[in-house]
Amino acid sequence: MKETLLNLRPVSLTTKRTTPQLATYRELHFNGGRVQSIYCHVSTASDYFRFGFKLLAMNGKLFGDGSIQSQDTNLVIHIGRNMKSREVFLTTYRNGVRESYDKVLFKTETLFMVASVSISIDQTNQLLFKVRGRTCYECTVLPEICYRAVMLAWGDHSDYTVDVRNLSLATNK
């Protein structure tokens, strides 16, 4: 298999009032390849935000009743923070169903937060999600969701900005 590495330009994900849960997104294109890894640095000073990725089948819905509630085969994994909280947490949804309660990952001294975020999927479909270099979630995913990914940010009726830098994608063809 040939590995392709794509380095993408920085992007700011901001409140978009025309989508469910005021979400904004960017579909990540793998040119027909299989996701091997997604890596980026995110930063925000927003007091309420969500940022993460949705892996979904080629014909899967990006939005259902909201940013995450589509019931087709998918995995949403994101970090977030609630109003005025200094705690950054992890939440996951599989096929639109929340897998567990929020897991606190770290606390910030101020509202400004910066973190490296990455997903890697090996040939056995084992997914690792890392924040600040630490594995904080792992699971086995279905092969059909290894070819399409969307980067998401949302604010549940709050304004937010999440800046994404050093975005790179590695695929296997």
Sign of the torsion formed by the C-alpha atoms of 14, 18, 23 and 28 = negative
pLDDT (0 to 100) of residue 2: 47
- pLDDT digits 0-9 by tens, 121-149: 999 999 999 999 999 999 999 999 999 99
Span 6-33, average pLDDT:
81
Reference 88, options 127, 114, 119, 67; nearest CA is 114
Say if residue 54's pLDDT is above 80.
yes
Name the amino acid, one letter, at 168: S
- pLDDT digits 0-9 by tens, 88-125: 999 999 988 899 889 999 999 998 999 999 999 999 99
Cα 142 from Cα 75, distance rounded (Å): 10
pLDDT (0 to 100) of residue 50: 93
pLDDT (0 to 100) of residue 66: 61
How much of the chain, in percent, has pLDDT values that exceed 90? 57
- Three-state secondary structure call for residue 143: helix
pTM passes above 0.85: yes
Q: How many helices (H) and strands (E) does the chain have?
A: 0, 14
Say if residue 68's pLDDT is above 70.
no
Give yes or no for a contact between 162 and 154, defined as CB atoms under 8 angstroms apart.
no
Locate the domains of the chain by residue range: 3-172
Span 153-164, average pLDDT:
87
CATH fit for domain 3-172, picks 2.30.40.10, 1.20.1050.10, 2.60.120.200, 1.10.3720.10: 2.60.120.200
Give yes or no for a contact between 10 and 163, defined as CB atoms under 8 angstroms apart.
yes
Between residues 44 and 14, which one has the greater pLDDT?
44
What is the pLDDT of the chain when averaged over all its residues? 88
Give yes or no for a contact between 169 and 40, defined as CB atoms under 8 angstroms apart.
no
Core vs surface per residue 121-136: b (16+ CB within 10 A) or e: beeeeebebbbeeeeb
Sign of the torsion formed by the C-alpha atoms of 141, 147, 152 and 156 = negative
pLDDT (0 to 100) of residue 92: 95
Say if residue 49's pLDDT is above 70.
yes
Cα 163 from Cα 125, distance rounded (Å): 29
pLDDT (0 to 100) of residue 1: 45
pLDDT (0 to 100) of residue 137: 97
